[in-house]
Amino acid sequence: MATAAATTAATDLELELARLFSGDVESLAGQFEIYERLRAHGSVLEVNGDLILTGHGDVRAVLGNPVTFSSARDRSIYGGDIDDLSPAQLAKLHELAGFESGWMNDNDDPVHANMRGLIQFAFTPRRVAQMRETIQSFVDELLTPVDERGEMELVRDLAHPLPLNVICDLLGIGRDRNAEIRAWSDELAVAFDTGHANLDAAYDAYLGFRGLIHELIEHRRDGGDTTDLFGALLNGSPDGTGLSEEQLTGMLVLLLFAGHETTTNLIGNSIIALLNNREQFDRLRDDPSLAAGAVNEFLRHNGSVQSVRRVAVTDAEAGGVPVARGRSVRMLLACANRDPLVFTDPERLDITRSDAAQHVTLGYGIHRCLGAWLARLETEVAVSTLVSRYPAMQLTQAPEMRPMYTMYGPKSVHLQLF
């Protein structure tokens, strides 16, 4: 009997997790209770063919072992029934998957290391720190019209345009392209989360990005700065032969995509977390020097990337269970970030938590987020400016969350400011 009950509990949890991963908004709202039950359940579960890992130590062990657990993956996954696709759609799926598979985060060393080596100079703590004034000026500029209205929709007015302005500035892309980039990024985010359920729109988004990059390359090849990030990418490659246009497009799209929705969502999640914990909001307002540390706690408590995957390249072990070669392992970063074995009173938001930086929201190991310093600085400047500028801000309605699991964040956050 006990075994039957345990099996039923496991099946219930598997179903709940499958619903959560599909981006069901109700499940998302209750995700932390699901994690508690998952932890209590103890053993490792399988959902949609993935082995699910939840413990902080287990997640780090897999991410820290890239030789056994590979990042290379087949992106040609389709969320619906592949038989329903027309030949033209199948061709789109393969082209899109081929393009996505070229990204550094989907490759192992040495390919990954070579790609990362090309651009990491632009994301060092020192380089990023020099961007503080620019980021502050973008925030102030975006908030100027907001001041006059006395209310704002956080995502539309600040959280979305800010990271986009920053990454476009870094890449030398004019602001007039922001609306298109935003629409394309949104489609690619949906494609990732749903296994290309929006195939046609995602493919159009990819073509849009490709066209934009082609234009930029043509423009730059006619002359222009060769010492900035774009120039370095255009001229350099590990073997000195230059990146192909396809590789260059992949790199730039990855930066635009990875550096954008993720930070938008983090800014949104951080403000929601503070407004749901007003004493923490007041603490930050009274002591702005807490802001940098607070961002680590926001990343831990309500991170904007909630899971990552790896595939075992040999028979191995993860979370105390055997993992057969070829098996996919999905790590729930959001759950690991509230592991009571690592964090005291993990459900509580505490912006002065001394070990908040142990979170895994920015990944761990060789693929740890390249834009970590930038994402943190943007969030720090945005959140601390909002808190000091609008100390009485309040939600006017419950935030609406995006129906996505991996890239977690609000669709809209309506605020009364004064």
Among 262, 280, 384, 385, binds ligand HEM (CB under 6 A): 262
- Locate 107 and state its tokens: 């490759």
Examine residue 143 and tell whether it contacts ligand HEM (CB under 6 A).
no
Task: Transcribe 286-327 into DSSP letters.
Answer: H-GGGHHHHHHHHHHHS-SB-EEEEEESSSEEETTEEE-TT-
Examine residue 71 and tell whether it contacts ligand HEM (CB under 6 A).
yes
Examine residue 304 and tell whether it contacts ligand HEM (CB under 6 A).
yes
**What letter represents residue 208's amino acid?**
G
Examine residue 254 and tell whether it contacts ligand HEM (CB under 6 A).
yes
Candidate segments 77-85, 145-153, 201-209, 356-364, binder of ligand HEM by CB under 6 A: 356-364
Task: Transcribe 120-131 into DSSP letters.
Answer: GGGGSHHHHHTT
Question: Closest distance between ligand HEM and the C-beta of residue 168, in Å?
Answer: 11
The residue (of 20 and 254) whose beta carbon lies closer to ligand HEM is 254
Examine residue 233 and tell whether it contacts ligand HEM (CB under 6 A).
no
Helix axes 199-221, 178-194, angle to 10 degrees: 140
The residue (of 152 and 170) whose beta carbon lies closer to ligand HEM is 170
Candidate segments 21-29, 236-244, 304-312, 315-323, binder of ligand HEM by CB under 6 A: 304-312
Cα gap 379→285, rounded to integer Å? 15
Pairing type for strands 50-53 and 328-332 reads parallel
The residues with which 305 forms a beta bridge, in sequence order, are: 407
The residue (of 102 and 363) whose beta carbon lies closer to ligand HEM is 363
Among 189, 305, 312, 383, binds ligand HEM (CB under 6 A): 305
Q: Pick from 230, 302, 237, 224: which is nearest to 270 by CA?
A: 302
Stated as kind and residue range, the H or E segment containing 143 is: helix 132-149
Cα gap 87→237, rounded to integer Å? 36
Among 327, 338, 353, 367, binds ligand HEM (CB under 6 A): 367
The residue (of 96 and 266) whose beta carbon lies closer to ligand HEM is 266
Among 23, 55, 161, 259, binds ligand HEM (CB under 6 A): 259
Among 139, 146, 162, 266, binds ligand HEM (CB under 6 A): 266
Examine residue 116 and tell whether it contacts ligand HEM (CB under 6 A).
yes
Q: Pick from 22, 61, 18, 65: which is nearest to 38 by CA?
A: 18
Examine residue 75 and tell whether it contacts ligand HEM (CB under 6 A).
no
The residue (of 231 and 391) whose beta carbon lies closer to ligand HEM is 231
Examine residue 258 and tell whether it contacts ligand HEM (CB under 6 A).
yes
The residues with which 416 forms a beta bridge, in sequence order, are: 151, 394
Among 374, 377, 404, 415, binds ligand HEM (CB under 6 A): 374
Helix axes 372-389, 161-171, angle to 10 degrees: 140
The residue (of 27 and 71) whose beta carbon lies closer to ligand HEM is 71
Of residues 153 through 212, those in contact with ligand HEM by CB under 6 A are 167
Cα gap 192→208, rounded to integer Å? 17
- Locate 16 and state its tokens: 């709940």
The residue (of 16 and 261) whose beta carbon lies closer to ligand HEM is 261
Question: Closest distance between ligand HEM and the C-beta of residue 366, in Å?
Answer: 6
Task: Transcribe 200-211 into DSSP letters.
Answer: HHHHHHHHHHHH
First to last CA, the chain: 59
Cα gap 117→196, rounded to integer Å? 30
Examine residue 361 and tell whether it contacts ligand HEM (CB under 6 A).
yes
The residue (of 203 and 364) whose beta carbon lies closer to ligand HEM is 364
Examine residue 270 and tell whether it contacts ligand HEM (CB under 6 A).
no
Examine residue 363 and tell whether it contacts ligand HEM (CB under 6 A).
yes
Stated as kind and residue range, the H or E segment containing 330 is: strand 328-332
**What letter represents residue 113's amino acid?**
A
Q: Pick from 33, 152, 148, 36: which is nearest to 399 by CA?
A: 152
Question: Closest distance between ligand HEM and the C-beta of residue 259, in Å?
Answer: 3
- Site of interaction with ligand HEM (CB under 6 A): 71, 104-105, 112, 116, 167, 254-255, 258-259, 262-263, 266, 303-305, 308, 361-363, 367, 369-371, 374-375
